[in-house]
């Protein structure tokens, strides 16, 4: 395996690919709702605190350790101590599971791009999405009924991913990020600019930002802010780690982190302006209060938006395709990042080339993703999403924090990072955050998430959660136990 196949051509490729990973569906369909339902304007206080005490310090840590090792996540963890190898595979496999369900959402969105040219969802977007398109069924017998249109659209997505990912890093992901990420921001500015001119936009925005200060003493909004930042910045997922290990020797990681966190927040707040202007417009047209229309996730993108486009007249034929295309781009630049940690780990341990590893993983991913092309698929998607985001990844963040800050020793990074940093310098404050505040805080959020899942889960959800957890744990075990094929698996270059 030649190293240059896994190296960024420039710092700009690294930053843009990282922004591409961070800016995804979470920014478009999750954040606006989180902001609205957690105190509106008052949410900015926990949000900014979460960025300052978690987002930035943790990203610096993950980058720093990744940069130091110049190797994959599993290889580095094995180097830190061979007893951590299992965790070294757990996160990359969990992130690969995200990839598989993200491909389904991309698949749905691909169909909507097409439909939006002629409002193909008809007069009742809700019925279209759940019945006509997904053939959604609440019974697991739906696993036996296959929906070919969705399968085809998902496979198109996998082919695009393969086309980009199987190339050398800079020639594929690097170049694509340099084009798609700026394009994503530009299209978003156009959409938001247009949305702000709609009648009723100000009603939506007033509703969004109306601050509910009393919520600040509510623990829930603090949890929501921390959860949002973990998801949105793709923290602790071994993605930042892997991307930093691909950098050349002179990167200013501290300054890069600040740029990435700023770009991510800018994008999601911008998205919130767009979403609520449009909801305000719809409220004005229909007389239904914003509070009764607002929702998040697939409901927002695939039901509320088409409903708005139905009342928007001719403009919908421009705004609709533009909107679904933006969602596609945001999803694509994120999904491309989800294969990197596992792919690089496999290349390191088993001595396969980047091209071959990507091809195998994409075929496996595409086959597994077909479960989402069944009538029960959207239910499974919900279960996997909840399990991975509320349970598996938060645990990953806590463990990563402990291993990097305590076992690896975050102190080792300070001089080295400061020597390159043109902006802030790391000091004791950073160590206190990554060693104490973060592990404690995230553990609390993690426990809160588990309680939430257990309290709200249906029987089917619990059964599926156990199956999903078993798949994750067994796949991880297999990667850990398979003997290394690469002679340098136990030799890792360190830069610090
Ligand atoms: N950060 C992405 C978003 O905001 C989500 C994501 C999660 C991307 C995990 C990659 C890995 O949508």
In short, whether 442's Cβ falls inside 6 Å of ligand 1 is no
Q: What's the whole-model pTM score? A: 0.94
Quote the tokens at residue 151: 């399968």
pLDDT for position 3: 52
Q: Considering the chain, what percentage of its residues have pLDDT values greater than 70?
A: 99
Rank 206-215, 364-373, 380-389, 420-429 by mean pLDDT and report only the highest: 364-373
pLDDT in tens, 168-205: 999 999 999 999 999 999 999 999 999 999 999 999 99
The Cα–Cα gap between 158 and 173 comes to 15
C-alpha of residue 26 to centroid of ligand 1, in Å:
6
DSSP 27: I
In short, whether 21's Cβ falls inside 6 Å of ligand 1 is yes
Which option is the CATH number for 11-481: 1.20.1260, 1.10.238, 1.10.4160, 1.10.10?
Answer: 1.10.4160
C-alpha of residue 91 to centroid of ligand 1, in Å:
14
Least confident of 226-230, 313-317, 411-415: 226-230
In short, whether 195's Cβ falls inside 6 Å of ligand 1 is no
The Cα–Cα gap between 375 and 396 comes to 31
In short, whether 25's Cβ falls inside 6 Å of ligand 1 is yes
In short, whether 357's Cβ falls inside 6 Å of ligand 1 is no
Residue 129 has pLDDT above 90, yes or no: yes
Cβ neighbours around 418 below 10 Å, total = 13
Cβ neighbours around 488 below 10 Å, total = 13
Question: CA 37, 33, 232, 155: dihedral to nearest 10 degrees?
Answer: 150
pLDDT in tens, 15-25: 999 999 999 99
CA atoms lying within 13 Å on the CB side of residue 164: 22
How many angstroms separate the Cα of 315 from the Cα of each of 21, 115, 193, 195, 287? 30, 15, 13, 11, 21
In short, whether 27's Cβ falls inside 6 Å of ligand 1 is yes
The Cα–Cα gap between 397 and 77 comes to 14
Mutate to test the pocket of ligand 1, among 17, 19, 21 (most ligand atoms within 8 A of CB): 21
In short, whether 337's Cβ falls inside 6 Å of ligand 1 is yes
Q: What is the mean pLDDT of the chain?
A: 93
DSSP 227: H
Mutate to test the pocket of ligand 1, among 19, 24, 233 (most ligand atoms within 8 A of CB): 24
In short, whether 238's Cβ falls inside 6 Å of ligand 1 is no
C-alpha of residue 228 to centroid of ligand 1, in Å:
10
pLDDT in tens, 260-292: 999 999 999 999 999 999 999 999 999 999 999
pLDDT for position 1: 46
Residue nearest to atom 10 of ligand 1 (CA): 334
C-alpha of residue 336 to centroid of ligand 1, in Å:
10
The Cα–Cα gap between 354 and 342 comes to 11
Q: Three-class SS of residue 146?
A: strand
pLDDT for position 200: 95
Residue 209 has pLDDT above 70, yes or no: yes
In short, whether 228's Cβ falls inside 6 Å of ligand 1 is no
In short, whether 98's Cβ falls inside 6 Å of ligand 1 is yes
In short, whether 26's Cβ falls inside 6 Å of ligand 1 is yes
Specify whether the CB–CB gap between 265 and 233 falls below 8 A.
no
Residue 4 has pLDDT above 70, yes or no: no
Instruction: Tell me the residue length of the chain.
Output: 496
In short, whether 348's Cβ falls inside 6 Å of ligand 1 is no
Specify whether the CB–CB gap between 50 and 308 falls below 8 A.
no
Mutate to test the pocket of ligand 1, among 18, 26, 338 (most ligand atoms within 8 A of CB): 26
The Cα–Cα gap between 276 and 389 comes to 25
In short, whether 24's Cβ falls inside 6 Å of ligand 1 is yes
Residue 99 has pLDDT above 80, yes or no: yes
In short, whether 17's Cβ falls inside 6 Å of ligand 1 is no
Residue 2 has pLDDT above 70, yes or no: no
- φ/ψ of 449, rounded to 5, equals -65, -40
Domain boundaries, the chain: 11-481
Residue given tokens 């975050």 in the structure block: 410
Between 227 and 316, residue with greater pLDDT = 316
Residue 369 has pLDDT above 70, yes or no: yes
Mean per-residue pLDDT, 61-81 = 94
Least confident of 236-240, 314-318, 401-405, 446-450: 446-450
């Amino acid at each position: 395996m030649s190293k240059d196949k896994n190296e960024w051509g420039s710092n700009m490729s690294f930053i843009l690919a990282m922004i591409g990973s961070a800016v995804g569906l979470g920014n478009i369909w999750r954040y606006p709702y989180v902001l609205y339902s957690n105190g509106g304007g008052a949410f900015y206080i926990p949000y900014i605190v979460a960025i300052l005490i978690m987002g930035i310090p943790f990203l610096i840590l993950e980058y720093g350790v990744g940069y130091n090792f110049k190797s994959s996540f599993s290889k580095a963890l094995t180097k830190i101590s061979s007893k951590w190898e299992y965790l070294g595979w757990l996160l990359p496999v969990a992130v690969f599971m995200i990839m598989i369900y993200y491909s389904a959402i991309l698949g749905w969105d691909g169909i909507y791009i097409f439909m939006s040219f002629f409002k193909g969802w008809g007069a009742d977007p809700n019925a279209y999405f759940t019945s006509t398109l997904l053939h959604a069924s609440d019974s697991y017998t739906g696993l036996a009924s296959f929906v070919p249109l969705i399968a085809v659209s998902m496979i198109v997505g996998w082919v695009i991913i393969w086309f980009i990912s199987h190339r050398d890093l800079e020639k594929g992901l690097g170049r694509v990020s340099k084009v798609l990420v700026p394009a994503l921001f530009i299209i978003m500015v156009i959409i938001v600019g247009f949305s702000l001119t709609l009648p009723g936009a100000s009603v939506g925005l007033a509703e969004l930002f109306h601050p509910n200060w009393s919520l600040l003493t509510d623990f829930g909004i603090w949890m929501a802010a921390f959860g949002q930042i973990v998801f949105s910045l793709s923290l602790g997922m071994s993605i930042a780690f892997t991307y930093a290990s691909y950098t050349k020797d002179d990167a200013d990681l501290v300054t890069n982190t600040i740029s990435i966190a700023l770009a991510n927040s800018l994008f999601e707040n911008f998205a919130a302006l767009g979403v609520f202007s449009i909801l305000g417009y719809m409220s004005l047209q229909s007389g239904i209060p914003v509070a009764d229309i607002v929702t998040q996730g697939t409901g927002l993108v695939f039901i509320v938006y088409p409903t708005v486009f139905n009342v928007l007249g001719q403009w919908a034929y421009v705004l609709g395709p533009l909107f679904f295309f933006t969602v596609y781009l945001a999803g694509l630049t994120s999904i491309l990042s989800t294969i990197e940690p596992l792919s690089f780990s496999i290349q390191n341990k088993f001595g396969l080339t980047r091209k071959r590893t990507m091809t195998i993983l994409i075929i496996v991913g595409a086959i597994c993703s077909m479960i989402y092309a069944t009538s029960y698929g959207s239910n499974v998607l919900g279960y996997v999403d909840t399990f991975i985001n509320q349970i598996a990844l938060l645990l990953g963040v806590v463990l990563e924090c402990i291993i990097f800050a305590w076992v690896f020793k975050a102190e080792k990074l300070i001089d080295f990072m400061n020597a390159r940093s043109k902006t802030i310098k790391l000091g004791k404050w950073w160590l206190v955050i990554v060693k104490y505040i973060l592990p404690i805080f995230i553990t609390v959020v993690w426990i809160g998430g588990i309680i939430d899942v257990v309290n709200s889960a249906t029987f089917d959800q619990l059964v599926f959660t156990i199956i999903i957890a078993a798949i994750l744990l067994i796949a991880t075990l297999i990667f850990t136990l398979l003997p290394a094929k690469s002679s340098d698996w136990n030799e890792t270059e360190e830069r610090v």
